[in-house]
Each structure stands twice: as C-alpha cells, then as structure tokens.
Amino acid sequence: MYYEMIGFMAEPHGDGPCEVELPQIDLANSALFLDFDGTLVDIADTPDSVSVPSDLPDLLKTLNEATGGKLVIVTGRPVADVSRFLGGFEGHVIGCHGAEDRVDGEVRRHPLAYSDVVKRLGDMVEAFAATHDGLLAERKPTGVVIHFRQVPEQEPDAYTFLHALEQSHEGFDLHHSKMAYELRPAGISKDASIQRVMESEGFAGRRPIFFGDDVTDEPALAWVSARTDGIAVKVGTGDTSAGFRVHDTASARQALKIWAGLGS
C-alpha cells in the first residue's frame, strides 16, 4: 500500500517486470545519484522551458545533508544549467553525461571542453537547424544536441546529419536520447562516471542508488542494479534493467521526500 501511494508499480503499461517494494534506505550509508530531466522535473517542449518545483532545491539540500554530501546530480545538462535551474543546490554535479564534474564548487571539464572542434560542431548543427523549421540546436561545453521534439517527422534528417558529423569527427560519439541526438566525447557516460565516483574516498562501501528515465540512463541503471546492494529506479515507462520503477517525476520526488523524512 505504501509503495502504491508513492507511485511504485510492478508492471506499468506492460513495460517489463520491476519490484514493487523497496528495501529500507539508510541515507547515511547510501550514495544517491539522481538524473535531472524526466526524473526530477517533467519533460518540457524545449530545454529552457522546464518547470522546477519550488520545493525541489530544499529537498535536494535535505537529501544531501542526510547522505553526508553523497548526493550527486548526474545529468546530460551542462553544470551551468543545473546551477541555473537548481540555484539553491550547491552539491556534487556530474554534467554533460560525465564530461563535467562540479565538486565543492569547482568544475572540472573534459579536455575537449570549449575546443575549436566543439565550437565548429555547434556552428554546423546550428546552421542545419536554422534551415530546418522546428529543429533546435543546443550547444554544450563538450558537444552539441539536435532536438526534434517539435518536428518528429524530421528525426531521420537530424540523425543523418549528426551521423555524418560523427563519422567525420574522430573522438565524438553519437547518442540518442528523448526526441534528440547528441554528439559527445567518446568514452563519456553516466555509468562510467558513477563507477568512478563509487570508487572514490567517502563513496566506496556505500549503497549506490540511481533514479533515471532515459535510454541514456540505462547503462547506469544496469550497473547499479547488478550490484548486490544497489537500488536502480526507472522513472516512467519503457524497457529497463532497473529493479524498481516509479510512474513519473512526481512519484520520484515523493519517494525521495519520504526517504528524507519530509513526507508520508
């Protein structure tokens, strides 16, 4: 009953089996990794139009304190976006899928950040989007995204263009995410970042917990799920190797509130 109230479910829309009941969480011995878009905030029409619940920064602050500073936002967004949207949250952020890392207020970036090649890729994708009504280019310090949410029928053209750029730019990989394609530095991924953090001092020995919603989150959900003590939570529908699932972002936030002692 408790888990139904907070939106945990067994087989939502026939998208694969997930456990209904979560184990009890001792936040003081956990490392909490949280995706942003589609997990903490609802997906919106454009990257800039997401709506951040007013109590979210405080919830994250409480969780960060309860974990002894072991809450990590793990997102495809640049760290600067997280600062913009979650102004009150000053904790650990892994941005650009792992190509950026903010710890204790200091941001470290992949060697390709702000490089000429990233600028050139951004220019080309912007020029392509400018000639295709409805496509949206999003520049990042370490790559570029093309969004086709407004014009799903243009997905094949968007893919063809970014695929050609991937082929002609060694060191960049093409990734598919929700209504978007992205070029990012090769070898960069959330699962690799989470593994690295989990091996670091203060994290090693803790129970890893990861909430994510997108196909780009699946390798990390799988890695956490494969750990005997790991808790991987898929937000929303879609195939997953996560052991747990919540309906939507509101259910994810509610579950986190309960763990933080802020809800019932």
> What is the x/- site pattern for ligand L263DTV3, positions 39-68, by CB under 6 A?
----xxxxx--x------------------
Q: How far is the CB of 44 from ligand L263DTV3 (least distance, A)?
A: 4
For 112, residues 6+ apart whose C-beta sits below 8 A from its C-beta are 99, 118, 142, 171, 185
Q: Does 260 bind ligand L263DTV3 (CB under 6 A)?
A: no
Region near ligand L263DTV3 per CB under 6 A, out of 29-37, 61-69, 111-119, 250-258: 29-37
DSSP single-letter state for residue 91: S
> Within the chain, what is the greatest distance between any pair of CA atoms?
55
Establish if 254 lies at the interface with ligand L263DTV3 (CB under 6 A).
no
Please report whether residue 215 would count as binding ligand L263DTV3 according to CB under 6 A.
no
Verify binding: residue 145, ligand L263DTV3, rule CB under 6 A: yes
> Hey, how many other C-beta atoms are within 10 angstroms of the C-beta on 180?
21
Q: Please state the closest distance from residue 85 (CB atom) to ligand L263DTV3, in A.
A: 10
- 35 counts as catalytic: yes
Q: In the numeric block, which tokens belong to residue 65?
A: 């304190």
Q: Are strands 231-235 and 244-246 parallel, antiparallel or unpaired?
A: parallel
> What are 93's strand-pairing partners?
73, 102
Q: What's the closest the beta carbon of residue 241 comes to ligand L263DTV3, in angstroms? A: 17
Say whether residue 172 binds ligand L263DTV3 (CB under 6 A): no
The CA–CA distances, whole Å, from 246 to 9, 21, 204, 255 equal 6, 11, 27, 9
Q: To the nearest 10°, the Cα dihedral for 17, 22, 28, 29?
A: -50
Note the residues at the interface with ligand L263DTV3 (CB under 6 A). Answer: 35-38, 43-47, 50, 75-77, 138, 145, 147, 149, 177-180, 214
